[in-house]
Amino acid sequence: MQQALRPDHELTLLAGGVELFPALVAAIDAARAEVMLETYILDFSRSVIPVVEALERAAARHVTVRVVVDGVGTGDIPPEWQRRWAAAGVRWRVFNPVRGWRLLMPRTWRRLHRKLCVIDGELAFCGGINLLDDYWDPNHGELTRPRLDFAVRVTGPLVADVHDTMTRLWWRLQVAREARQRDLEGALRAVRAAARAGMDEGPHDSVMEQGGAVAALVLRDNLRFRRRIEGTYRIALAQARSEVLIANAYFIPGVQLQRALLRAARRGVKITLLLQGRYEYFMPYHASRAVYDQLLAAGIRIVEYEASFLHAKVAVMDAPRGMLATVGSSNLDPFSLLLAREANVFVRDDDFAGELHAHLLRALQHGRVVDMDSHRRRPWLTRVGNWVAYGLMRFAVLVSGKKY
């Protein structure tokens, strides 16, 4: 593993907002000193309202509450909640806000896509679940079945890593905010606070007694950890002996990751990919299908989930020292692996991996198996759409100055 796995963790797998949101509310209501939360989408409606109300209550009882949302995924906080949060003392920042034609500029493609929360430096949440109702999609409206997604609740050493990375980002945003307002004194204070937060430090290497689940927080950013998540996947695939099961919403692997999958398949590893089966966005839907041929030819099984939207970014695979699982925010596509801030928890624990594996096996029953013959017989217009989308994706990678 690129990131050392450390022992002494307790983990709880959470399936969907129906399990995550009540767990967040309970943790926030129990907070004594600090709540930090980051998300790509924060939708102030439906089942998310108890979470934003819990943040309001926490700040009102003088807990430090800091919230960061992405400028594209969320945009501006609604005026009503700006007033309510300001009155209670909730502090919030919008990461890289951008509108209109500026979205065409490559520098604006660097998004905050990770979903993290840390409570009092003792408890953390990490996963792929946005603060968005399971039965609601901003582009497609009501869903008849819940979105498929996962998060993990964790205590143990990696909580300090979550706290550190969130604190560093908060103070970077604070420095930028003060600089934009030409408040040089405030900017200098923020720089000093950022330095105290250890902006240039990596994850802790704590000394502890052996016990609990073995886990690590693996990050991707545009500074020190540019290839960390992809690299960890590749190493895990190289160690897999008999089975790999990956569920990923937007699956457009680069050359190195494709080679890792193909090498594992040639060794006789049974690889199953649970991918998006419903049309959501043009580019990821079509571009992913442009890479099916080579994977299917290698004997990799592809199942397209059709019950609802697949938003999960998880995997389970065997390894020489026990089952390995990951739950996080990173898609296996260039926008996650090259541009966005992402966070995954990697876990080596048979019980945790077995629970996630059972969830995925049930999800596979609601999917359509893609076979080579039917894939090759798809309509020519669909083929054109696949390769146009893939070409656009590769061009976007080229324009952004990355290699994939």
**Residues annotated as part of the active site:** 113, 115, 120, 311, 313, 318
The DSSP call for residue 40 is S
Main-chain dihedrals φ then ψ at residue 183, nearest 5 degrees: -95, 85
| Residue 398 Cα distances to 117, 243, 289, 335, 383, angstroms | 34, 34, 20, 12, 23
| Token code pair at residue 206 | 């704590």
Long-range contacts of 162-165 (CB under 8 A, 24+ apart): 162/116, 162/118, 162/124, 162/126, 162/217, 162/343, 163/36, 163/118, 163/121, 163/124, 164/197, 164/198, 164/201, 164/203, 164/204, 165/116, 165/217, 165/219, 165/343
| Residue 125 Cα distances to 118, 175, 195, 251, 345, angstroms | 6, 26, 25, 24, 10
In order, the DSSP letters of 105-138 are: SGGGG--B--EEEEETTTEEEEES--BS-TTEET
- Strand intervals (E) in 75-209: 91-95, 115-119, 123-127, 136-137, 141-142, 150-155
Q: Which residue has the tokens 């994977």?
A: 295
Q: Is 394 helix (H, G, I), strand (E, B) or coil?
A: helix
CA distance 4 to 331: 22
CA distance 109 to 395: 14
Query: CB–CB of 187/175 below 8 Å?
Result: yes
Question: Strands 34-39 and 64-70: what pairing?
Answer: parallel
195 Cβ partners below 8 Å, 6+ apart?
A: none
| Residue 137 Cα distances to 104, 140, 176, 270, angstroms | 24, 5, 32, 33
| Side-chain-facing half-sphere of 158: CA atoms under 13 Å | 31
